[in-house]
Structure 1
Amino acid sequence: MLRRNICNIHKICCLYTAPATLLGETDVSSLNKVFKPMNYHSFSKPQNVTLIRHLSYIHEVKHDLEKLKNEPNYNTFTYRTHTCGELRPSHVGQKVSLCGWIQYQRMTKFLLLRDAYGTTQCIVNGDTNLPDIPLETTVKIEGTVALRPKSMINTNMTTGEIEVVINDLQILNTASNLPFHLRDYQKPKEQLRLQHRYIDLRFPDMQNNLRQRSTMLHNMRRFLVEKHKFVEVETPTLFCRTPGGAREFVVPTHHAGLFYSLVQSPQQFKQMLMAGGIDRYFQVARCYRDESTRPDRQPEFTQLDIELSFTNLDGVLSLIEQLLYTTFIQDIPKPPFKRITYKYALENYGTDKPNLTYDLKFKTIKYLFCDKLNDSNFGAYVLPYPNELGKLTTKYKEKIRELIKKYKTKVVLYENISKELSVELFNKIQDTIGERNSCIVSLGDNENACLCLGEIRDFIATLLLSKNLLKINNAMVPLWVIDFPLFVKGENGLETCHHPFTAPHPEDIHLLQSDPLKVRSLAYDLVLNGNEVGGGSVRVHNAELQEKLLKMLNIDNTKLLHFLNALRSGCPPHAGIALGIDRLVSIACNAESIREVIAFPKSHEGKDPLSGAPNFINEDDKKYYHIVTVD
């Protein structure tokens, strides 16, 4: 940029000349270094050089560029001099220009001006009164900074010690017929906020969330590119359907019967990049999945997609630990993060994404069932909880009944175990539950018994926390869950636990044919405070093994010939991960939903209240795309 500026100055001002003696040798030498690659030979000759005032201007350009480089400035390229969160007593007496929205006006003398960075009180003196201006009107104010009277200082505002005495007020755009006002203490319902998102974005928490998101992504890019030499590569979003994955959005073309699919992830592309020698890849990828929307799901979402060659599970986990430790906008524990197996997570917490911010584990009591000790499919678990919780209400007992139906397990609630069990049985279980006299027991199919008790654990924890009977760690608690099963049992045979490109654990490959449900995978999930925020795996890089796995999953190989050919081309071993940016930012910002950290999200129904999408299309478009609608 500096070289370009100097070149432009030289071209424009080349008619002005002065003796070389006016320039110091150091100045001539430094300019030679700049212009030598561009064959500007005149600077190496003493008889003709640029006029010294242009050299002086060049130095000013350098100084300004260095200043911009080192000091962030929110006011460059605008006609304001300061933001509404910037002014302090040190600015008293300065003439300033502010731009923003009128948040509040009172007594025809005071108004509160707000922008993205804060608020400033502005006043008029003397007999002048402020005009009656609708709230949220955008204005430009020119005035002088003054100290507030001591009795008027507002310690809740960063600009609370000063005010701006208005010399001129210019209305830039009048607000009219707003559906709601911006009051933190009285926010409208989410549907209305999403319908008028352009107003909702003015709330300070929305401003903060989107700026925090931007900062985190910027830091992640710097960490990957500058520190570890990753290459950011954009891959297509229009692709063919990926077999064995989530339901995808279909995109029609004007060729009859031919469709694209929007990618649910760049999975195939990033693996083919590994085959192509891009050995350290990442992108901030937009992904699409046509599935039900929950508080932590959106039909379109953003992930930090990472893949690298010549690595293994430990390499990827270490990379992500360092990435988050360096770039996460809240404090996170120093690596390495805790690791637990899928089996351990299931049999202690009843979920593959346990929340370890509180200590509430259940324990096995299978030893009480002598006739079931050798039955690997049978599970018996107990969840002890503090006696002070008292008896569960009818509401929570009904929840337990619903879970029994859902998981087809037997659940027994003991609210006074010393009185409800025989002395012999009580003595046997006492060593397991300790001094606690209340517990819930879940029996049946091992996995279902765990999952059922895991859901019960969640609402018991909520109850205990509400009554201050359970200590919670307010810090970030990340952990890795590893050793997932490669396959799960589906309605029509085997299904993949993650995706069909996940490598089996090398210790279990011999079980692929004889007992595939016992084969572990080299998959891993990153869990943060009970939320899955990332998932990845070591990939299959051998075409023959990949074909074998696809066959076991009843996936047609012909749909993936391009991918299999890439593996056959000498594809190196590789592994990767995708981090859910929306979830990570929502956790960091303590947002209730990922919708709070996305500028224009879909509703919980997967619709866009702002535009009304999805919409009907007209008959001409249907004809062009060969679409026929059916009831």
Structure 2
Amino acid sequence: MLENLGSWRRTHTCGELNINNLNEEVILMGWVQKRRDHGGVIFVDLRDREGITQVVFNPEYNENAHKKAEELRTEYVIAVKGVVSKRPEGTENPKLKTGEIEVMVSELKILNTSKVLPFTLDEYSNVGEDIRLKYRYLDLRRRPLQRNLILRHNLVRTIREFLYKKGFLDIETPFLTKSTPEGARDYLVPSRVNPGKFYALPQSPQMFKQLLMISGFDKYFQIVKCFRDEDLRADRQPEFTQLDMEMSFIDREDLMDLIEEMFVEIFDKVLGLKIERPFPRMSYTEAMEKYGHDAPDTRFEMFLKTINNLVDGCGFKVFADAVKDGGVVKAINAKGGAKFSRKEIDELTDFVCSLGAKGLAYIKINEDGLQSPIIKFLGEDVTNSIVKEMNGEVGDIIFFGAGDEKTVNLYMSKLRLLLGKKLGLIDENKYSFTWVTDFPLLEWDEEEKRYVAMHHPFTSPVDEDIPLFDTDPGKIRAKAYDLVLNGSEIGGGSIRIHRSDVQEKMFSVLGLTEEEREYKFGFFIEALRYGTPPHGGIAFGIDRIASIFAKAESIRDVIAFPKTQKATDLMCDAPSFVDEKQLKELFIKVDLPEDYYKD
């Protein structure tokens, strides 16, 4: 028979009692993690979010409580009253904070029962993710996820406390705003009271935080939900949490210095680790040359190197043609990789081919000489020059990528990471920060035959590059910066354009007509004309930082109620069809094939 709490209130959590509490009468409440019957004495591991306490039902201590305990099953919700006792010698559990004590129960209340669970809540349970997400409320009872969310809480709390101390104001910005398609697709929200019109959910509070700077709130931050309708992977969600920041009257150095100070405090308070500053910096150009990626993993040294000068006009057609066609040939020396078998090299080849490569050439440096099917085409002189350039030694293997620069950088950067793992070069307990700076302001979109903003259209160009808007826009550098941690971009930002004339130049080079500018950004362009201060900011992915700290395989493991890779919520069954009446109120007609609804 189920009971109510009545006058009972918890005196302690299940994770705080210790030897100092001996002989105290306590009241604990939680879930039955395990129940064990040892010769008439029943032991229960009682669990709440703070930990586990062993509670004991001994018929010689209290017969009524013992008899009621015979009804207990896994995940029943109970309350117990009893006295803290020292565990018998030899039965202590050093893995538990409460492992030296147990509670001898004098009274038991069964507050609720539980059905048999669809999966066990054991920390090492290998249940599939789809089942875990369907029963997320049960999955969240598991210790690993509770630890992750507590860590995330501590991360957010530390950020807030740091920024409050620095004089930042926490200001909310709208969720229902105007669609300004740039980059990812917007999520659209129909307006019932304005038929045919739609709001968009913000991909970022970008324009609003700049408007706050125009309004005189010179230090703003917000930990906010953002939305992007894009294809998902392990580190992406349709709705994600962002630390958004903006400051007036600053330059890059001011902001970067503040962020480094913030992360020193985060690591100290959240992880208990000391990190050194200043953080290393590298230019975008250096990152792409040495790592093939603008978010380099600097925990290990294995660098890409462009060798166009060595293979230009050589006898190996693949290399020679890549250079001739304006592409690149890049090499990477996998130190100690000559031990790779033919099968392993074939697997590496399949891996890069899945990313756009047409093959994976290599040169092995063995005790008895060089081994490679391409040496006969390269010739002895070119081969030896390459080995020398790549500091090749006995036991190494040099891999090559050839083709257009974008594709080569893509698969060679991924190959570098895979080689680092295979060769045991990545210290999983190391945290390596890098600032990447001096990004190009623009990049050429081959499909649309126009320039697009590499970051967003409000990023300021480097001052001395402003004249290039009229002569060579592709060479303009941006006052942009990304902060990279262990090969993941955890934050990015820039100094913003604060002059309306420069903003107009930016819109022009992006190919926006007067009508498009007015329709998409008219209110913002107008605001820039009313005394806009120099300002800049940055945004950080809270989910991504938390997942790195928790060493989680996916950001879904640090989000309470995440979506799947198909942007669905298996627990709530969302998205879902809505009633025809709702659609009519919104003046929306859904036109789908008849057989669509059969799925």
TM range (shorter): 0.7 to 0.9
Matches within 5 A, 1:5-154: 79-107=9-37, 109-127=42-60, 128=63, 129=66, 130-154=69-93
In the aligned structure 2, how far is the partner of 1:301 from the partner of 1:415?
Answer: 45
- Read off the aligned partner of 2:12 and give its amino acid letter: H
| Contact 2:363–2:370 (CA under 8 A) maintained in structure 1 | no
Matches within 5 A, 1:458-477: 458-465=417-424, 470=425, 472=427, 474-477=429-432
Matches within 5 A, 1:478-517: 478-490=433-445, 491-492=447-448, 493-517=450-474
Q: Helix, strand or coil: the match of 1:205?
A: helix
Shift of 1:472: 2.8
Instruction: Kindly provide the CA deviation profile for residues 207-257 of structure 1, in whole angstroms up to 9, marking residues without a partner as x.
Output: 11111111111111111112x111110111110012423211000011221
Shift of 1:126: 3.1
User: Do the aligned partners of residues 121 and 216 (structure 1) sit closer, same or farther apart at CA in structure 2, a change above 3 Å counting?
Assistant: same
Q: Helix, strand or coil: the match of 2:90?
A: helix
| 2:543 matches 1:582 | yes
Shift of 1:374: 10
In the aligned structure 2, how far is the partner of 1:462 from the partner of 1:270?
Answer: 41
| Contact 1:120–1:163 (CA under 8 A) maintained in structure 2 | yes
Instruction: Kindly provide the CA deviation profile for residues 24-83 of structure 1, in whole angstroms up to 9, marking residues without a partner as x.
Output: xxxxxxxxxxxxxxxxxxxxxxxxxxxxxxxxxxxxxxxxxxxxxxxxxxxxx9811111
Structure 1: which 4+ aligned runs deviate by more than 4 Å? 370-377
| Contact 2:495–2:535 (CA under 8 A) maintained in structure 1 | yes
- Read off the aligned partner of 1:99 and give its amino acid letter: M
| Contact 1:103–1:135 (CA under 8 A) maintained in structure 2 | yes
Q: Which residue of 2 aligns with 1:557?
A: 517
| 2:361 matches 1:412 | yes
More displaced, 99-108 or 551-560?
551-560
User: Do the aligned partners of residues 410 and 95 (structure 1) sit closer, same or farther apart at CA in structure 2, a change above 3 Å counting?
Assistant: closer
- Read off the aligned partner of 2:331 and give its amino acid letter: V
More displaced, 210-219 or 346-355?
210-219
Q: Which residue of 1 aligns with 2:331?
A: 382
- Which residue of 358, 375, 388 maps to 1:431? 388
Matches within 5 A, 1:118-267: 118-127=51-60, 128=63, 129=66, 130-226=69-165, 228-254=166-192, 255-267=194-206
In the aligned structure 2, how far is the partner of 1:208 from the partner of 1:399?
Answer: 35
Q: Helix, strand or coil: the match of 1:337?
A: coil
What TM-score comes out, normalization by structure 2 length?
0.87
| Contact 2:468–2:476 (CA under 8 A) maintained in structure 1 | yes
In the aligned structure 2, how far is the partner of 1:97 from the partner of 1:370?
Answer: 79
Provide the aligned C-alpha RMSD in A: 2.1
Q: Which residue of 1 aligns with 2:597?
A: none
- Read off the aligned partner of 2:91 and give its amino acid letter: M
| 2:209 matches 1:270 | yes
| Contact 2:43–2:56 (CA under 8 A) maintained in structure 1 | yes
Q: Which residue of 2 aligns with 1:304?
A: 243
| 2:284 matches 1:342 | yes
What TM-score comes out, normalization by structure 1 length?
0.83
Q: Helix, strand or coil: the match of 1:296?
A: coil
Matches within 5 A, 1:529-548: 529-548=486-505
Shift of 1:563: 0.4
| Contact 2:8–2:27 (CA under 8 A) maintained in structure 1 | no
| Contact 1:390–1:415 (CA under 8 A) maintained in structure 2 | no
In the aligned structure 2, how far is the partner of 1:374 from the partner of 1:601?
Answer: 46
Shift of 1:358: 1.6
| Contact 1:389–1:464 (CA under 8 A) maintained in structure 2 | no
- Read off the aligned partner of 1:381 and give its amino acid letter: K
Q: Helix, strand or coil: the match of 1:443?
A: strand
- Which residue of 384, 387, 400 maps to 2:352? 400
| Contact 2:252–2:494 (CA under 8 A) maintained in structure 1 | yes
Q: Which residue of 1 aligns with 2:562?
A: 601
Shift of 1:152: 1.4
User: Do the aligned partners of residues 393 and 382 (structure 1) sit closer, same or farther apart at CA in structure 2, a change above 3 Å counting?
Assistant: closer
**Percent identity between the two aligned chains:** 39
Gaps of 5+ in 2: 1-6, 314-319, 593-599
Q: Helix, strand or coil: the match of 1:178?
A: coil
Gaps of 5+ in 1: 1-76
Shift of 1:263: 0.5
Q: Which residue of 2 aligns with 1:366?
A: 308
Shift of 1:495: 1.2
In the aligned structure 1, how far is the partner of 2:18 from the partner of 2:350?
Answer: 58
Instruction: Kindly provide the CA deviation profile for residues 575-606 of structure 1, in whole angstroms up to 9, marking residues without a partner as x.
Output: 00001001011111111111111111111211
Q: Which residue of 2 aligns with 1:34?
A: none
In the aligned structure 1, how far is the partner of 2:303 from the partner of 2:236?
Answer: 27
Q: Helix, strand or coil: the match of 1:202?
A: coil
In the aligned structure 1, how far is the partner of 2:538 from the partner of 2:301?
Answer: 28
In the aligned structure 2, how far is the partner of 1:376 from the partner of 1:524?
Answer: 32
- Read off the aligned partner of 1:561 and give its amino acid letter: G
| Contact 1:524–1:537 (CA under 8 A) maintained in structure 2 | yes
Shift of 1:410: 7.0
Instruction: Kindly provide the CA deviation profile for residues 281-300 of structure 1, in whole angstroms up to 9, marking residues without a partner as x.
Output: 00111100001111111100
In the aligned structure 2, how far is the partner of 1:427 from the partner of 1:112?
Answer: 67
